[in-house]
A = this chain, B = another copy of it.
Amino acid sequence: MAKSTLPKPTEGELAILRVLWARGPCTVREVQAELEPERGTGYTTTLKLMQIMLEKGLLRRDDSQRTHIYQAAVSRDRTQQQLVGQLLDQAFGGSARQLVLAALSSKPSTPAELAEIRKLLDELERGSR
């Protein structure tokens, strides 16, 4: 290991990662097309951001063709865990219970979703860990 030192993605970077996680390897143009409606930024903005992310090690790219292909270098799960862990420390004093409470009350969950979370608890308790 050695990847613990990967920087925390910024808001703009996270938007790009979202696209790459969902669609797999993409060109800048594809990412830009996906993001344009929601962010309204131009092509060069997205390009620049992705180049910076490459330098930071958040993305990888294949530049053997004229049109470069980018992909995420960090996994979704790992990044989500990093972000939530950080929030846990910074805003919740490490109390997972409080975080869960805030999460569930910030957005009304469907009963189905609550049931799923309950199932999750069962698994966690069983497998201890």
Contact = CB atoms under 8 A, between A and B. Distances in A.
B121 A118 contact: yes
A8 to B, nearest CB: 10
Interface stretch (A26-34, A42-50, A106-114): A106-114
B113 A101 contact: no
Interface residues of A, number: 46
A120 interface: yes
A66 interface: no
A57 interface: no
B125 A100 contact: no
Chain copies in the assembled complex: 2
A11 B87 CA distance: 10
Interface in A1-59: 11, 14-15, 18
Interface of A: 11, 14-15, 18, 77, 79-85, 87-88, 90-109, 111, 113-114, 116-118, 120-121, 124-125, 128-129
Given A82-B106, A83-B87, 7 more contacts: A14-B90, A79-B91, A80-B92, A96-B109, A97-B117, A114-B124, A114-B125
